[in-house]
Amino acid sequence: MSGIYIHIPFCKQKCHYCNFYSVASRRYRSVFVDALLNEMQWRKDYLPDKQIQTVYFGGGTPSLLTISEINQILDKIQDLFVLSPEAEITLEANPDDLSDDYLKQLKAETKINRLSIGVQSFFDDDLQYLHRSHHAAQAIKAIETAQKNGFRNLSIDLIYGIPTLTEEKWKQNLHRFFEWNIPHLSSYALTVEPRTALDVLIRQQKLTAVDEEQSIRQFNILLEQTEKRGYIQYEISNFALPGFYSKHNSAYWMGGHYLGLGPSAHSYNGFSRQWNVKNLKQYTQADTTERVIQEKEILTEEQRYNEYVLTALRTSWGCDVEHIRNGFGKRYEALFLRQIQHWIANGKVRKKGNAYILTEEGKLFADGIAADLFVDEE
């Protein structure tokens, strides 16, 4: 299974917490799509399997693209690859971009069949803390307008752990999500990444610091409420009704291959990983594949194993010992089974068939548990 990720680097303004590559400028906008189509042409042979099951427009703010630009990109994918008739094609969107006219055209004139709306909160004081470009009323209208225009495969993002977000407000955010019967939720703890505006403002004491205990309490509320309403936590930060898992992101977590296009985008084809330059000017002026790629590495067996453990452990499918044995050999299987016993004994991991999955308590320590299971390179 292969997917294509397209990074759209433009934003109206930078959110304080964001550490993804983006620019709060329209400079180079006119040449960006041409550069993207050129990169696609140069790298059309990167994926071993040219049948594309998923396309994901991420960013940045992909909903700043016009309908014509979206179709140019999708037409080029169809020309160079075999786009499955059942392909999941997702557009990330900000609520303030989703006018009725835009959504009507998106539904009627493009192949976009899944929307992921960056709501984050339905309270304006939370949005102000995050420095989002939209207001709560715009988020509500965007969801209702998307559903009115026939977007059933819909996801929204909500952030917990915002200092302005009380437990009661967090419950109200979730209640609104459930009221609309939206089939997919991506929900993340607010994380202060180094060198972001949020990091600087907290250190300058201009914004309240994030409280880890508050984040844990709100994470537990999230687990309780989603389970009560039949949502499956198929990855630590992702919840879906049956049949509405994100196929694109699920492929990442299960070791699928993907081609990343656009500045800063990453690619993986089973044996190598590479990522593009994080500079829009350099990207748009590149005239060869080599000038697009910032770095490339051939993954060792240890790196591939560690990546499997890191990603699989975050999912409801867990780490499968049969997969480890078949993919990496009996030595890795024996090592995994020996190391995992400590985490079973302290209640952070449990066995389910051939797989080992995190318990509710273990989900709070996912990255640390994975790191403990890593194999050191010789």
Q: Which of 220, 236, 252 is the last residue of a domain?
A: 252
Sheet of 319-320, strands arranged across: 319-320, 355-358, 349-352
Q: Which of 187, 218, 252 is the last residue of a domain?
A: 252
pLDDT of residue 376: 84
Pair 168, 307 in one domain: no
Pair 176, 41 in one domain: yes
- What is the three-state SS of the chain? CEEEEEEECECCCCCCCCCCCCECCCCCHHHHHHHHHHHHHHCCCCCCCCEEEEEEEEECCHHHCCHHHHHHHHHHHHHHCEEEEEEEEEEEECHHHCCHHHHHHHHHHCCCCEEEEEEECCCHHHHHHHCCCCCHHHHHHHHHHHHHCCCCCEEEEEEECCCCCCHHHHHHHHHHHHHCCCCEEEEEECCCCCCCHHHHHHHCCCCCCCCHHHHHHHHHHHHHHHHHCCCEEEECCEEECCCCCCHHHHHHHCCCEEEEECCCCEEECCCEEEEECCCHHHHHHCCCHHHHEEEEEECCHHHHHHHHHHHHCCECCCEEHHHHHHHHCHHHHHHHHHHHHHHHHCCCEEEECCEEEECCCHHHHHHHHHHHHCCCCC
In DSSP terms, 232 is beta-bridged to 240
Query: How many Å apart are CA 286 and CA 5, to the nearest integer?
Result: 19
Residue with tokens 């939209």: 134
Q: Which pTM was predicted?
A: 0.95
Pair 306, 197 in one domain: no
Domain-located, residue 33: yes
Q: Which of 252, 270, 289 is the last residue of a domain?
A: 252
Pair 33, 153 in one domain: yes
Domain-located, residue 265: no
Domain-located, residue 261: no
Pair 209, 308 in one domain: no
Cα distances (angstroms) measured from residue 3 to each of 10, 13, 85, 137, 295: 22, 29, 14, 34, 20
Pair 202, 345 in one domain: no
Phi-psi region of 64 (alpha: psi -120 to 50; beta: other; left: phi over 0): alpha
Domain-located, residue 280: no
Pair 187, 326 in one domain: no
Pair 235, 341 in one domain: no
Domain-located, residue 257: no
Domain-located, residue 121: yes
What is the residue range of 71's domain? 2-252
pLDDT of residue 270: 86
Tell whether omega for the bond before 60 is within 30 degrees of 0, i.e. cis: yes
Pair 248, 325 in one domain: no
pLDDT of residue 284: 96
Pair 156, 10 in one domain: yes
Number of domains in the chain: 2
pLDDT of residue 378: 58
Pair 13, 99 in one domain: yes
CATH no. for residue 187? Answer: 3.20.20.70
pLDDT of residue 29: 85
Tokens standing for residue 13: 């303004």
Domain-located, residue 260: no
CATH no. for residue 313? Answer: 1.10.10
Domain-located, residue 11: yes
pLDDT of residue 26: 80
List the pLDDT tens digit at each of the 378 positions of the chain. 799 999 999 999 999 999 999 998 888 888 999 999 999 999 999 998 889 999 999 999 999 999 999 999 999 999 999 999 999 999 999 999 999 999 999 999 999 999 999 999 999 999 999 999 999 999 999 999 999 999 999 999 999 999 999 999 999 999 999 999 999 999 999 999 999 999 999 999 999 999 999 999 999 999 999 999 999 999 999 999 999 999 999 999 988 999 999 999 999 998 899 999 999 999 999 999 999 999 999 999 999 999 999 999 999 999 999 999 999 999 999 999 999 999 999 999 999 999 999 999 999 999 999 999 999 865
Pair 310, 235 in one domain: no
